[in-house]
Structure 1
């Protein structure tokens, strides 16, 4: 039986490795995707997810997360949750509730407390320094405040054929309090059907939610498209349509995996991702928009990886 995991961005690679280890040992897709995303949420140098994530315009770290089970279509989600160590775990727990399975703001935070989830101050000193620096730059140079919106999105397939999807994000840096992007929204940030496959998104949520691209990719796979063909068709046709009708298209990238562990990716920016399955170990790739609605995908180089590690850990001056 095929099994595998795919996730957005280089930051997910260690989580993908751990997810594949669980899947190889016949653990569930749900456990694998939660473990994968928790690995990203717990790492302080990833400034767009969980601990160390960047705060909103008022200096408060609001987080969004979602979980979906491909067998039952159960969905749980949180938006604007604060001071909770692992929002993905709260979202997964909520997926078991028939009612009230999507909680926001104070309601989401209160639910996590009542259910005994670990509380933690998620705003690190490093993230606060980045926020302060950005405030100064905005004031002195009249800059656009919005910079950074990388969601960790993941899809897992276990040896029983079950598939799950999950997302987690601290959202758009310097966002207005209460702003919610695509990450916790079914069909936009994620979608999975264990009889077909799954997809998740990362990028500018305000534009991603205009297209419901995660659902569209799964729908196309259900019509017989390969994951790569489905990603190319959904992403680039919508990129062109949005550019034509709206005047521009923000950054967005999507990943997909089907029931055979085959995968696909499409993006309108430079985009990294990690993927592995029962036939290949986890590997990090870099993708770019190619010609004629295609995607160019290459393995990352050691030079790229070294530069990345140096960049994310550089001192904040």
Structure 2
């Protein structure tokens, strides 16, 4: 029985459908689950030290979950990076608020949103995943949980970020600047030597955002999605547009149906572009990694790059682009 005929019969039968012989599924396309030889780490943008940290851990036998956490922590502590962690650009009131998520090979995840005064939100997110019955904590609740877990409070607003914020106050322009570090994040995918895949995403969000704003980064299926049978995807850019399309979930599902990571990223981007005629005024970028170790990337505007660590080489690659 062909797939189309089978689906038609299922729809017609409804709840009264009798038991079906398993042989009818033989003609359905099956996802080919081949695992890559050797570990791989891929990271949005040119966060070289972060990706190298993750890649070297993988080479030493670390799990994908440990590698992504430790990798993105590098940028959370990098005060020169004004898009992530300590030193991140504040909201319009001068407060640095952080979002992060982490997703394990078994499908579990943890997430924190609107977290203040904690340097490593990705590690708090992992604690949420492993130490609570929940998946997401926000605001004051996330902060209180972090303190109880032993995280030390820190002032996230550095003098440089504060000076830039005060300069911004002169005009208060909210429109994102394409490929300028005012709205981007670090997203990372790791495939370990056992063939397991994990991901993490962490950000200080849109610079000078309204207080309380949360973007795509801590939202599973938008900023990050992992399926250990298929692969994973991460996103960066204007979070509102990524959220509207649940883009990383879509990419993984497209890979499940047989699309390559590159094809999946391009199809997901096409959804965004078709739905928003204003697409020339913002940037969105994706990277995807499947279980075969194949990597794909696509962005709207030129300028987005990503890193791939494999066989002790940390290579910066230019993304394919729509414009």
TM normalised by structure 2 equals 0.83
Q: Which residue of 1 aligns with 2:44?
A: 8
Counterparts of residues 77-156 of structure 1 (less than 5 Å)? 77-97=111-131, 99-138=133-172, 143-144=173-174, 148-156=182-190
Aligned to 2:68: 33
Could you say which structure has the larger radius of gyration? 2
Tell whether the 8 Å contact from 2:44 to 2:307 is kept in structure 1 after alignment. yes
| Unmatched tracts of structure 1, length 5 or more | 292-317
Equivalent in the alignment of 1:195: 229
Say whether the 8 Å CA contact 1:134–1:145 is kept in structure 2.
Answer: no
CA deviations on 1:165-222 (whole Å, 9 max, x unpaired) are 1000000111111100000001000001111100000011111101111011111111
1:273 paired with 2:306, answer yes
Aligned to 1:182: 216
Q: Is the 8 A contact 1:50 1:85 kept in 2?
A: yes
CA distance in 1 between partners of 2:71 and 2:232 (Å): 16
User: How many Å separate the matches in 2 of 1:42 and 1:34?
Assistant: 13
Partner of 1:282: 314
Whether the aligned pair in 2 keeps the contact of 1:2 and 1:260 (CA below 8 Å) is no
Output the CA distance in 1 between the equivalents of 2:260 and 2:83: 30
Q: Describe the superposition over 1:88-144 as per-residue Cα deviations: whole angstroms up to 9, x where unpaired.
A: 101111112462320011111111001101322111010000000110233xxxx44
Secondary structure of 1:273's counterpart equals strand
Measure, in 2, the Cα distance between the counterparts of 1:197 and 1:261. Answer: 9
Deviation at 1:277, TM superposition (A): 2.2
8 Å contact 2:90–2:165 — kept in the other structure?
A: yes
- Counterpart Cα distance in 2 of 1:145 and 1:125: 23
Q: How large is the Cα RMSD of the aligned pairs?
A: 1.7
Q: Determine helix, strand or coil for the equivalent of 1:45.
A: coil
**Residues 229-268 of structure 1: pairs in structure 2 closer than 5 A:** 229-235=263-269, 237-244=270-277, 250-268=282-300
TM-score (norm 1): 0.85
Once the two structures are TM-superposed, the CA of residue 13 in structure 1 deviates from its matched residue by 1.4
Is 1:157–2:191 an aligned residue pair? Answer: yes
Instruction: Give 4+ residue runs of structure 1 displaced > 6 Å after superposition.
Output: 246-249
Q: Of 33, 36, 60, which aligns to 2:95?
A: 60
Alpha carbons 1:2, 1:259 under 8 Å: kept: no
Q: Give the paired residue count.
A: 282
> Is the CA contact 1:145–1:174 (under 8 Å) kept in the aligned structure 2?
no
Structure 2 counterpart SS, 1:207: helix
**C-alpha contact (below 8 Å) 1:3/1:260 kept by paired residues:** no
Alpha-carbon separation, structure 1, partners of 2:279 and 2:51: 36
In structure 2, runs of 5+ residues without a counterpart are: 1-36
Query: Are positions 1:17 and 2:49 aligned together?
Result: no
- 1:56 offset after TM fit, Å? 0.3
Matched residue, 2:240:
206
